[in-house]
Every structure is written in structure tokens, then in C-alpha cells.
């Protein structure tokens, strides 16, 4: 599984980081940091990744 991030849509709500802190982070400026780049989501983080995608209020994340 890979995640596509639409940085233009992201408003920095941070719900993704709450659901999947190993994958997402909001920096001090309120910008999203996606730790995986083009890498596959590790199997141990797949459930958290799905929760993060589902909780994004602006649909900035999607399963690739």
C-alpha cells in the first residue's frame, strides 16, 4: 500500500498524525511531513494508515 498526499489540500489539522504518528507529523509551521515518501507503508502500519486517510477532514490523503 502507498499513500498519495495532496499537499495543496492539506490544512494541517493533524488528525493523520494522531492516527498514524509513525507515518505523519505536523511541523512547528503547521505543515505536513509524510515520512514514507514513495515507499510502501510497512505492514505493521497499514491499519493506522487507513485510519489516517479516513480521518482527514479535507481528503488530502488517499490510498494509491
- Which domain CATH number covers 46? 3.30.70.20
> For 16-45, what is the mean pLDDT?
97
Q: At 18, is the pLDDT very low, low, confident or very high (cuts 50, 70, 90)? A: very high
What is the rounded distance in angstroms from the CA atom of residue 46 to the CA atom of residue 64? 13
Mean pLDDT, residues 23-28? 97
- Could you tell me the pTM of the whole model? 0.93
Instruction: Look at the chain and report how many structural domains it folds into.
Output: 1
**Which residues constitute the domain of residue 31?**
3-63
Helix (H, G, I), strand (E, B) or coil at 34: strand
H or E stretch at 25: strand 24-26
What's the average model confidence in pLDDT over 41-58?
98
- Model confidence at 48, pLDDT cuts 50, 70, 90, reads very high
Amino acid at each position: 500500500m502507498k499513500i498519495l498526499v495532496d499537499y495543496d489540500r492539506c490544512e494541517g489539522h493533524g488528525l493523520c498524525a494522531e492516527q498514524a504518528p509513525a507515518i505523519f507529523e505536523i511541523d512547528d509551521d503547521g505543515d505536513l511531513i509524510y515520512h514514507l515518501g514513495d515507499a510502501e507503508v510497512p505492514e505493521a502500519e497499514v491499519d493506522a494508515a487507513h485510519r489516517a486517510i479516513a480521518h482527514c477532514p479535507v481528503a488530502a490523503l488517499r490510498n494509491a
